[in-house]
Chain A
């Protein structure tokens, strides 16, 4: 029998609907895979104890002739930033250890309604602050390509879960690159939708004007299928767009024909020169552009002069919004409480927050409190908001000339665990190509472009489209993916280590 964990979500869905495979079999195969490799990878913080029951229910409903969604019976990993009623939700923080939400995030509720089978909650940097998962309070996730390296972050758990075949699909969240940068370093696909295109209700807020929930998968079509399930207007989220969205899966299927590349104008950004990237990253990027050009696309150089201010603006806006959002962890209504004998509620609050938050979270709360304090507000937060306008104008000018923009998804391949954890500024610079996308609210996707020659590690290419043009990214992404996989002869992940459970990092759990 085929290994059900190696199938794409689309192929698994076809097997399920044809009745050749049951959801119980598919779910059991993934639980077995988790048991075999997650002791090494640590993609999951919690594995559901009733996934097989959910799967059996889907199988029963299918057998009874019920009309089910295309992904019904397919297993799903859920980033721990998304609240769930049946599993703990910690956002990678000690301060929320054991927290049980009284409601499901909208994207979780929609996934359940579509018949997806939640396998568990995936690891992440605490409150999604980080690019490596090393800031998780529960220990880092390891990159399936090299267990000594980072899986990216903040959504390293979701990316590693799909890369290690511990789930065909995962949900992520992306505030400055937390879906796309992990996709880049793990050889997977990750999509940050247009701001407001997917509900944020039930996503534990980091920076509300930047956060966006999106799909994580091994193929462009699989992300599109999941996006179709989770997207669309949600009255629970006041920033949710009321637009009617086209089928992203249809866009991906159409894109795979390659027709979209004929005459497509692809912009590359002058201010992101190859010298700013690891050589294997820029080489892979240039090779992808050449493949698109050979298939009929036109590569156009465009200018985005304010991108260089993006990281600076982001590290003012994000901490400012985060310091406000994280004020809710006050030791009163939920989460940890550290008692202070004889202390007032404020003493308890301050002591709890010191004990419950990790270093990076404290660093950003203090930075945000500084950026918002009297006397500095205009110079820092006010200026950062103006940079946001300038970056939006850069995008507007670029999209007047081209259909999509392309960048490498991150400056380097996966770095070693521990390499940057003590140097916050270096860690922040990982997101130089992804941050402008969040500041402007436009959609961005990262797909595998190959392996870097010097270290054999995965590289991703990011495509960016105007706001509301998410379908264009699925078309273009699927077109390049088809070209590349044809040229490789097999998906990139076929070249990743098999992760048999005898590795040096010890046995299985």
Chain B
């Protein structure tokens, strides 16, 4: 597999990841990610269709607890680290931009 990490792709990944990358960061990451991806792409050499995927090292199934309310945080605790709060709620800036 040939990886093609371009500045446009890195900028797009920044949008997806909600990180406002500067032009300088985009340029640096493009070079670094190209080298890294070239080295990690080797996983496909041995990942043949007959090999099942492992998502979790020690499989567990049906981990349930009784559906009972307990060990709740208070509203004060929930909001104690909030950058901004009002009326027992988190406060944020506008959800929609002007053009929306």
Residues of A at the B interface (CB closer than 8 Å) are 99-100, 102-103, 194-196, 209-210, 235, 238-239, 241, 306, 309, 311-313, 315-316, 323, 327, 330-337, 339-340, 343-351, 353-354, 357, 362-363, 365-367, 369-370, 373, 379-380, 382-390, 392, 424-425, 428, 438-442, 467
Contact = CB atoms under 8 A, between A and B. Distances in A.
Interface of B: 1, 5, 9-10, 13-22, 25, 29, 32-33, 35-37, 39-48, 51-58, 60, 63, 65, 73, 77-78, 80-84, 90, 92-97
Contacts of A369: 13, 16-17
Closest 5 CB pairs of A and B: A441-B57, A383-B47, A337-B83, A385-B53, A334-B81
Contacts of B10: 366
Given A312-B43, A386-B53, A392-B54, A345 B92 contact: yes
A337 B60 contact: no
Q: Which secondary structure dominates where chain A touches chain B?
A: helix
B13 A386 contact: no
Contacts of A239: 56, 58, 60, 63
A389 B40 contact: no
Contacts of A373: 13, 16
A385 B20 contact: no
A437 B41 CA distance: 21
B31 to A, nearest CB: 11
9 contacts: A195-B57, A239-B56, A309-B42, A344-B93, A345-B93, A382-B47, A383-B47, A386-B47, A439-B57
A323 B17 CA distance: 8
B66 to A, nearest CB: 10
In this complex, the member of A357, A369, A428 whose beta carbon has the largest number of chain B beta carbons within 10 angstroms is A369
Nearest to B73: A102
B44 A195 contact: no
Contact of B18 (A241, A309, A313, A330): A330
A370 B43 CA distance: 15
B83 A387 contact: no
B97 to A, nearest CB: 5
Nearest to A314: B40
A329 to B, nearest CB: 9
In this complex, the member of B14, B19, B52, B65 whose beta carbon has the largest number of chain A beta carbons within 10 angstroms is B19
